[in-house]
Amino acid sequence: MKPSKVGVALPLTPHLDAVVAEASRFAARFGASLTLIHAGTSEAESGAYIEAAAQRLGIPHEQKIIWNQTDPAISVMTAAANAGIDLLVVSAFEGPALGKRRFLGTVAQDLARGAQCSLLLLAHPRVQEHRFAHIVAMTDFSDSSKNACELALSVADADRADSFHVVSIHTIFMEARARLGTAADKVGRTYQEEEQLMDDFLASLPECNVPLEGRVLRGTTGFVACDFAESVDADLLVLPGHHRMNGRIPPVVDWALRVLPCDVWLVHHGPVWTDEPTHT
């Protein structure tokens, strides 16, 4: 389902204008409304600062929600839940860049683990308009992955992307389980079985005007996907977000909650904000 209400968690930093601009452009791709959210200590000062940024950029927004609480992640999630946000845009990084990679900040990590909606984690926000030229989408061949890929393909079409890679990760542990396990073991599979799953998955996706390529990546951890995203100069990495108790993303790509090779779109699959916002 395409997002209809986009929220942006705003930092009171020099990156504010760039974050607002990125969120506005992403909302416009889906014809969605935009809500500005900030968890701060001074409502009057924060409100004036955020309103000035929106006016500078000429960006229409539905409302401002300003929370004055001690835990910024819970504050943002509570505000997003109350506003019915189904996609939250977050300035994700802290500290200096390591090449194109950015380390995910503490608040962004808490949101990635706990928010019951889709998230767009911005690694390099820009005021200037730009397109997603190279997109990489992770799959574990689930319904969540198919939903994420279909949404990402719509963005790729709109942005006239140059390439779209669908990748899965095949580890030596999966190979070992396939050779030692039983037919009921859904995690263990050989590399050849993984390639067949990829072919079937690609065949199930809707037609698009963007070059589409599937790739099974070999590695011991999910970090191989980060290296691949860098190797193709990806602008956007798309991950499936599961609605389940044992985690929002597949454990093999948990690295995505620590370091970003580019902007990361965690696409939530399932109902939004069904539980009280909390850390996981």
Residue 160 pLDDT grade (very low, low, confident, very high; cuts 50, 70, 90): very high
Residue 5 lies in a domain: yes
Q: Are residues 10 and 45 in the same domain?
A: yes
Q: Name which residue leads in pLDDT, 50 or 138.
A: 138
The domain that holds 89 is classified in CATH as 3.40.50.620
Q: In 3D, which of 151, 143, 149 has the Cα closest to residue 2? A: 151
The residue out of 111, 130, 149 marking a domain boundary is 130
Q: Are residues 166 and 120 in the same domain?
A: no
Residue 87 lies in a domain: yes
> Residue 245: its pLDDT value, please?
46
Q: Are residues 111 and 167 in the same domain?
A: no
SS3 66: strand
When mean pLDDT is compared over 86-100, 175-189, 225-239, the highest value belongs to 225-239
Total number of domains in the chain: 2
Residue 260 lies in a domain: no
Q: Are residues 16 and 42 in the same domain?
A: yes
Average pLDDT over residues 91-120: 78
Does the pLDDT at position 240 exceed 50? yes
Q: Are residues 43 and 137 in the same domain?
A: no
Q: Are residues 124 and 141 in the same domain?
A: no
How far apart CA 124 and CA 164 sit, in angstroms, is: 20
Q: Name which residue leads in pLDDT, 191 or 241.
A: 191
Q: Write out the DSSP string of 110-129.
A: HHHHH-SSEEEEESS--SS-
CB 129 within 8 A of CB 25: yes
Q: Please give the DSSP secondary-structure letter assigned to residue 88.
A: E
Residue 280 lies in a domain: no
Residue 23 lies in a domain: yes
Instruction: Take residue 157 and report the two structure tokens written for it.
Output: 């079409």
How far apart CA 212 and CA 127 sit, in angstroms, is: 29
Q: Are residues 69 and 117 in the same domain?
A: yes
> Residue 4: its pLDDT value, please?
93
H/E stretch holding 8: strand 5-9
Q: Please provide residue 115's backbone torsions phi and psi, each rounded to the nearest 5 degrees.
A: -70, 130
Residue 194 lies in a domain: yes
The residue out of 89, 115, 130 marking a domain boundary is 130
Q: Are residues 125 and 2 in the same domain?
A: yes
Q: Are residues 163 and 94 in the same domain?
A: no
The residue out of 95, 130, 165 marking a domain boundary is 130
SS3 148: helix
Residue 264 lies in a domain: no
Q: Are residues 169 and 99 in the same domain?
A: no
Residue 141 lies in a domain: yes
Q: Are residues 1 and 60 in the same domain?
A: yes
> Residue 246: its pLDDT value, please?
47
Q: What residue numbers bound the domain in which 192 lies?
A: 131-248
Q: Which residue has the tokens 């949404």?
A: 151
Q: Are residues 95 and 219 in the same domain?
A: no
106: Cβ contacts below 8 Å, ≥ 6 apart? 94
